[in-house]
Structures are given as C-alpha cells and as structure tokens.
Amino acid sequence: MGKDVIIACDFASKQDVMNFLDLFSEEKPFVKIGMELFYAEGPAIVREIKARGHKIFLDLKLHDIPNTVKKAMKVLSGLDVDMTNLHAAGATAMMQGALEGLTRADGTRPILIAVTQLTSTDQETMERDLLIREPIDQVVMHYAKTAKNAGLDGVVCSPLEAGKVHDACGKNFVTVTPGVRFADGDVGDQKRVMTPAEANRIGSDYIVVGRPITAAADPVAAYRRCVAEFVG
C-alpha cells in the first residue's frame, strides 16, 4: 500500500473546493470529501473531482443494517471513489455486506476502512452512553481486529495508535491518520497531534491533513512540505 497525503477538503460548497483545487497545477492530490460537502453538492461533486484526476476518499462513515449498507456501498463504488469508510460498531455482517456491495463486476473495489471509536468519544462517554466498560484503547484494538477479520483493509486512527494497530492486525492493515500538524504550526482544536515525519516513523500509511494545508498562506507549498516530510 503506497504512503500518501490525503487533503481533507472540508469546504462548504463546490465553488470553494474548486477554487482550492485550481491552485494545484502540477500535482493531483488525494482528497477527502466529507459529509458536509457531499450532502451540500451531491454525488456530482465526486464525479467532477474524479474527472479532474484526483483520487477520492469519501468519508461518509456508513452505519446501518447490512443490506442497506451493501446497497449504499454499491452506489459509492459506482462513483469510482478510491477509499471509503464505515463504523465498525455496525458489526461483522454489516462490514461483510459493505465489502460485497463495493466489489465491482471486475473484482476491483475501493479501499474500505473502519472508524473504531470516534475521537470525540472518551472513556466516560463510552461507559455512560454506550455501556461499554473496557478501557478505550482495548475497545479500539478490538474493533480494529473485528474489522480485519471481516475482511476490511484498515482503520482510521490517531497516528499515536498506528503502531499498535499494525502490531495487532499486521503491517498490511492500513492506518489512515488525521491529527497531523507541522512542528511550527497551529494545533487548533486537535488534542493529540503528530508531525508528518513522526506519523511516517510510527507507521501511518495515509495521513489526512486539513487546515495545515487548506488554511495555509500557500497551500501548494504546504502540501509539498507535507509530502516531503511524510513520504520523504
């Protein structure tokens, strides 16, 4: 699995994302499209960005009964995205259904990764609201193993967890890690961060980077710096 930098395109409209992508005349970065942009602009935004030559991680975090997720994934696969995701909390049958739905007639399919516990969920929330009483790091690792056993390709996790995920699930199990900041940059609302170089050392396969690139004075230079630090 090739290491890459994925730019989180957390923009509210098509115009904003296209203005941003227009800045890139040489590279075609891998981009992440999330719920806000997808729900605002619909599947056409995926087709348009794809037609411009970008790889796409469609971050919609599906979670429903297996049959519904299978059918929804079939639609996303038809959009020709390169990576998509779901909540491991949907359990094994849902994850297997998702894989089935994603697999195209020629046997190819987008990379499918799982969200374990959201980083907005802490131990207290998990115990109080979800009635899960085990330590959260064990819960995260258990969900990662369940995703692997269901046949998924990897998980979204903090770069701080990437090494442990690889130890538990093998080095080919993909880790996609947000929470990346330049050593001299603003941390913003991220609590646990790593630089691109540290994320590389600890074994992240893909880093998801938003504001350090999208809000930079020179986004193309920031992207190149990120790639240089992460991929070398």
Which span sits near ligand C5P by CB under 6 A: 23-31, 78-86, 93-101, 210-218? 210-218
Three-state DSSP string of the chain? CCCEEEEECCCCCHHHHHHHHCCCCCCCCEEEEEHHHHHHHCCHHHHHHHHCCCCEEEEEEECCCHHHHHHHHHHHHHCCCCEEEEEHHHHHHHHHHHHHHHCCCCCCCCEEEEECCCCCCCHHHHHHHHCCCCCHHHHHHHHHHHHHHHCCCEEECCHHHHHHHHHHHCCCCEEEECCECCCCCCCCCCCCCECHHHHHHHCCCEEEECHHHHCCCCHHHHHHHHHHHHHC
Task: Assess whether 61 carries a catalytic annotation.
Answer: yes
Of 65-94, binders to ligand C5P (CB under 6 A) are none
- Catalytic: which of 3, 14, 50, 61? 61
The answer to the question of residue 190 lying near ligand C5P (CB under 6 A) is: yes
At closest approach, how far in Å is the CB of 10 from ligand C5P?
Answer: 5
Which 18-37 residues touch ligand C5P, going by CB under 6 A?
A: 34
Lay out the site mask for ligand C5P across 107-126 (x = CB under 6 A, - = otherwise).
------------x-------
CB 50 within 8 A of CB 58: no
Binder among 208, 222, 226, 227 for ligand C5P (CB under 6 A):
208
Residue with Cβ nearer ligand C5P (150 or 156) = 156
Size of the residue set binding ligand C5P (CB under 6 A): 13
Among 69, 94, 144, 156, binds ligand C5P (CB under 6 A): 156
By CB under 6 A, which span of 14-22, 81-89, 135-143, 204-212 interacts with ligand C5P? 204-212
Residues of this chain that bind ligand C5P (CB under 6 A)? 8, 10, 34, 119, 156, 178-179, 190, 208-212
Q: Which residues are catalytic?
A: 61
